[in-house]
Structure 1
Amino acid sequence: MTGSYQRAFPRFVHVRPVPQQFFYGRCGDVGYAATRFEATPGATQEELVGMQDEGSATKYFRFTSAGGWTYLTSDAFPRGAHGCRDVPQIPEALAAVWGDCPLAR
């Protein structure tokens, strides 16, 4: 999943999912995940500045056995009032199970 995000945003080389901010589930044969990313040691100044905004948005991914992980989208800015339920690419039933992807405080 991190590799899928890095392919979509190649300027972010030194990133990882934020601990305690990972959601995963399946609907049929398709897996979905949601997480936020943070800079890791070795991040450049450009990456650190870029992650100030980009890192605060939840990223959404889809997994199929044929295609592996694919980056779908990020939260809107400002974030929707209903979290991941406002993201049309995430099935409503899964967003409900995820509790609308609350942000850690």
Structure 2
Amino acid sequence: MNVSVPADRPGCRNLTAGSQVKAAVTGAYRRSFPRFVHIRPTPGQFFYGQCDGVRYAATRFEATPGATHDELVGMQDEGSATKYFRGTSAGGWTYLTSDGFPRGAQGCGAVAQIPEALSALWANCPAGR
């Protein structure tokens, strides 16, 4: 599914996530869940933006080559949930929360930690975008 989203909303804007941002967000998730070492953001499922000077990201993760049996089993559930992050003042990232099971129809629009205007920019983080 290809979703067209506007570039800006009052106080919020989409940003382009490069490899450094994706690596830093992945690192934040690994710190929160150290059992997942061999992971990466799922292609086409990375959302990145800023509201009032605060950066936010949302993504799903998938296993990478070298994943252990335990990682593969754990990613069966974890890989289907979108994870949400907030940028820190020091330039790092903090894991906030993930979608529930099953994912709600409002997607990231139902996640209180993500500003409403940003979730609207992200078209509520559609799965399989």
Q: TM-score w.r.t. structure 1 length? A: 0.96
| Higher-strand-fraction structure | 1
Unaligned runs of 5+ in 2: 1-24
| Secondary structure class of the residue paired with 1:56 | coil
Letter in 2 for 1:43: A
Higher relative contact order (CA 8 A, sep 6+): 2
1-side partners of 2:128 and 2:105: how far apart? 15
CA distance in 2, matches of 1:10, 1:77: 21
Q: Deviations over 1:73-101 (max 9, x none)?
A: 00011111100000000000000000000
Aligned with residue 55 of structure 2, among 26, 31, 34: 31
Confirm or deny: 8 A CA contact 1:29 1:64 kept in the other structure.
Answer: no
Displaced runs of 4 or more, over 3 A: none
Q: Over aligned residues, Cα RMSD in angstroms?
A: 1.1
Partner of residue 5, structure 2: none
Alignment of 1:1-105 (within 5 A): 1-66=25-90, 68-104=92-128
Q: Distance in 1 between matches of 2:122 and 2:108?
A: 8
Partner letter of residue 44 of structure 2?
Answer: Q
Structure 1: how far apart are the matches of 2:49 and 2:94?
15
Normalised by the size of structure 2, how large is the TM-score?
0.79
Deviations 1:11-38 (A, max 9, x none): 0000000010000000012100000000
Structure 1 residue 65 displacement after superposition = 2.5
Give aligned-pair identity as a percent: 76
